[in-house]
Amino acid sequence: MSDIVPLEPSIIVIFGITGDLSKRYLLPALYHLIKVGLLDSQSLIIGVSRQQISSEELVTGIDLHHGEDTEAGDTEVTLQFKKQIRMVQLDLDSLDDYKKLNQTLESIEAEKGRCMNRLFYLSVPPKVYNSIIQLIGQAGLNENCSHGAAASRLLVEKPFG
């Protein structure tokens, strides 16, 4: 595994992080990226939820080790995973809340001393895509840092079923 090069430090903002698909697939996948060294230790996962929930409450009950033998290092990786998650309560229809989220991301970048790539992951029903995307733009969340050295991207989870 010495050939593995971690991705640049990023902020992954997940709308709908408390949903079933996030808990069953997305969060375990991010855990495994940390485990194999692909997610930079400076990267953060920002969970967006309408309800007040801590990162500890979010991770409780999720099978992060699904399909693998438990190893001694899993506890350390799980602790690292929990350190890299921060939760934000947000009303999906409130521009002010999106502006607060933008301030949160800017303060993270100031804390880290660098611009960070931003990925906005929509793990929400399709009927709210348009509203979220418009408010992301109106709040300036999609804009690069002041020196423009980072990129913002949007990923829409297409639900099947």
Backbone angle region of 140, left / alpha / beta, with phi > 0 → left and psi within -120 to 50 → alpha? left
What's the pLDDT tens digit per position in 36-63?
889 988 999 999 999 999 988 888 878 7
Mean pLDDT (the chain, rounded): 86
What's the pLDDT tens digit per position in 116-141?
999 999 999 989 999 999 999 999 99
When pLDDT is cut at 50, 70 and 90, the band that residue 158 belongs to is confident
- Report whether pLDDT(81) > 60: yes
User: Cβ-count burial of 160 within 10 angstroms (0-12 exposed, 13-18 middle, 19+ buried)?
Assistant: exposed
Alpha-carbon 3 to chain mean position: 25
When pLDDT is cut at 50, 70 and 90, the band that residue 2 belongs to is low
- Report whether pLDDT(147) > 60: no
Looking at per-residue confidence, does 37 or 150 come out higher? 37
- pTM listed for this prediction: 0.89
